[in-house]
Amino acid sequence: MAKKDLAHYQKKRDFRKTHEPKGNSKTKEFNRIFVIQKHDASQLHYDFRMQIDDALVSWAVPKGLSTAANEKRLAIRTEDHPLEYAKFEGVIPEGEYGAGTVMVWDFGHYEPLVDNEEHEKSMSDALKGGSLKFRLDGEKIMGGYAMARINQDKDEEDEQWVIFKLEDDKADARRNPTSTEPKSVLTGRSMDEIAKEEGDDE
């Protein structure tokens, strides 16, 4: 189940220094959203986050999501984030957790995909069980995806999962959106532009 208590997220950050949302507000703005944030931290990667209950359950995906059917990508579970984080784009200052440039690379909504016999299972239960299926409706990433946990840790963080595209009309092995569609869906900026414009504000 998604951790509704964001204390772990908040403990890692000094909000006097970072512009990341603290996560104290109660918002009704979001409903089954997902976001993919390009994150130039110690290593460039993509953070895939989806709303489950009242938080963004999060995974770091080193290579980003593939649009080729059945091509598995490693996804490492990280701490849950507040829903407001879905709109965060900027620069996390040096010395802070996750320091580096963050871009809203894709954003949209999702619908759970469940077998008939599992129609009552919630996304929280599916997450706990280590198997998720859903359809994404983003600006860059669309169609059915599945996630499976491949190891289980006492702490939900650092769990290793895989994420892969299901075979449907949105599967396309020819596409490589991480390379061909590099700009923010929120502001249209490049990573360099975000780093320059937001970094100047620090």
The answer to the question of residue 119 being in a domain is yes
pLDDT digits (tens, 9 = 90+) for 14-27: 567 676 666 665 55
User: Which pLDDT belongs to residue 31?
Assistant: 87
Q: Supply the range of the domain harboring residue 123.
A: 7-199
The answer to the question of residue 149 being in a domain is yes
**Mean pLDDT computed over every residue of the chain:** 88
In the chain, the number of structural domains is 1
Query: Model confidence at 28, in pLDDT bands (50, 70, 90)?
Result: low
> Can you read off the two tokens belonging to residue 190?
């490049």
Q: For the whole model, what pTM was predicted?
A: 0.86
Q: In which residue are the tokens 């491949």 written? A: 150
The answer to the question of residue 2 being in a domain is no
Burial degree of 98 (CB within 10 A; 0-12, 13-18, 19+): middle
Q: How remote is the C-alpha of 142 from its chain's centroid?
A: 14
Query: Model confidence at 1, in pLDDT bands (50, 70, 90)?
Result: very low
Sequence-ordered list of residues with C-beta below 8 angstroms from that of 93, at least 6 positions apart, any chain: 17, 18, 99, 202
The answer to the question of residue 1 being in a domain is no
- Answer yes or no: are the C-beta atoms of 131 and 148 closer than 8 Å: yes
**Interatomic CA distance for residues 37 and 67, integer angstroms:** 17
User: Mean per-residue pLDDT for 150-158?
Assistant: 72
